[in-house]
Amino acid sequence: MLFDDEKHLSEFQLAMRQFRRHRFALFCVVLLAGLYLSALLAGFLAPYSYKSEARDYSYAPPSRVHFWEHGYLTRPYIYGTRLTFNEYYQRIYKEDRSQKYPVKFFVKGDPYKILGVWPSSTHLFGVDAPARLYLLGADARGRDVLSRLLYGGQVSLSIGLIGVAISFSIGLLVGGAAGFYGGRVDNVLMRLCEMIMMVPGFYLLLALRAAVPDSFTSVQVYVAIIVILSFIGWAGLARIIRGMCLSLRERDYVLAARSLGVSDARIILRHILPHTMSYSIFAVMLSIPGYILGESALSLIGLGIQDPYASWGNMLSEAMSIVRIHFAPWILWPAFLIFVTVMSFNVIGNTLRDCLDPMLRGEATRDAA
């Protein structure tokens, strides 16, 4: 048993050591950590609440923060904004230099709850009313894009994690059972997986969404979306896990354990599952983008997270108008963040897979399906 654990650790540790050499992947890990951290601290980092509107500032451009005054470095400040119209009745926002608003730190602003539990209203930075600090510009209703990006990140990033956690658990159960017992159990379970994987994902997503009653609150819709995405996603993971279990089953130490009379459950739990989990991490990483994109796609067409709540997807539904992109290109920020998140997961997942590959190849020869 001791030797077995050592072997398990050292193979995975070997892969981890290799991983550390890929600087780009490490950079992506840091990037993701930053994104998730900022999502966690959204309330504090965001100057405004996600629903704080200011109709006078519709599509206001990013505020010009000044750091110099009379040639000296000074505390950052912004000027007030004056709304004017040009000859085409288009909005033009001009700086009103008569009013100066310094950027203050640790200000009191819109109330929020830290981690959803402890109420607070301290924000990292902000300006006094009636000025609005739009670091990344404003949307149609004058809501701060940066704030909504942070709150939106909470939704979009969490759906990825929770969804994949559920899928992975189901996948482990089903794939593990199929891979370990083989034979008829394997056949039936794999047919089931194939049936689910058979329907094109987006269609299934839409159909399942149609089955959700209109009376659901936003929170319930959020949960429903996670459930739907997990339902679509577990089959793929189950297949990968089943493949690994099938080959692991034939390994010497498993045969040894069996010959010693160790029970099936114990074998699965202590020998097979730990290996499977370390080797399937890359599959998990590579499937998270699917969840994030799935939620974004749904929200984009109005079937996902609804207003006033923010998600990166529903922020982009405003961007579906070409005219608006032209005049307010900052509404595309959510797309960029989605891209960065997806790319990071892809890079990490692929790098992990390459690092684990020589070991994967040794095991994967058994099962080609």
Minimum distance of another protein from residue 322's CB (angstroms): 4
264: its two tokens: 């099936």
Minimum distance of another protein from residue 33's CB (angstroms): 18
Binding status of residue 191 toward another protein by CB under 8 A: yes
**DSSP string of 127-160, one letter each residue:** --TT----SS-B-TT--BHHHHHHHHHHHHHHHH
221: its two tokens: 């819709």
Q: 209 or 258, CB closer to another protein?
A: 209
Residue type, 166: I
Residues 6+ apart with CB under 8 A from 245: 175, 176, 178, 179, 180, 272, 276
Binding status of residue 8 toward another protein by CB under 8 A: no
Binding status of residue 26 toward another protein by CB under 8 A: no
Minimum distance of another protein from residue 74's CB (angstroms): 38
Minimum distance of another protein from residue 72's CB (angstroms): 41
126: its two tokens: 């902000």
For the chain, the residue count is: 369
Residues in 271-310 that interact with another protein by CB under 8 A: 289, 293, 296-297, 300-303
DSSP state, residue 33: H
Cα dihedral value 10, 14, 17, 23, nearest 10: -150
Binding status of residue 136 toward another protein by CB under 8 A: no
| Contact of 276 with 364, CB cutoff 8 Å | no
Q: 276 or 296, CB closer to another protein?
A: 296
Q: 9 or 207, CB closer to another protein?
A: 207
Residues 6+ apart with CB under 8 A from 55: 141, 142
Binds another protein (CB under 8 A): choice among 33, 343, 358, 362: 343
Binding status of residue 319 toward another protein by CB under 8 A: yes
> In the complex, which residues of this chain contact another protein (CB under 8 A)?
191-192, 194-204, 206-211, 213, 289, 293, 296-297, 300-303, 316, 319-320, 322, 325-326, 332, 335, 338-339, 342-343, 346-347, 350
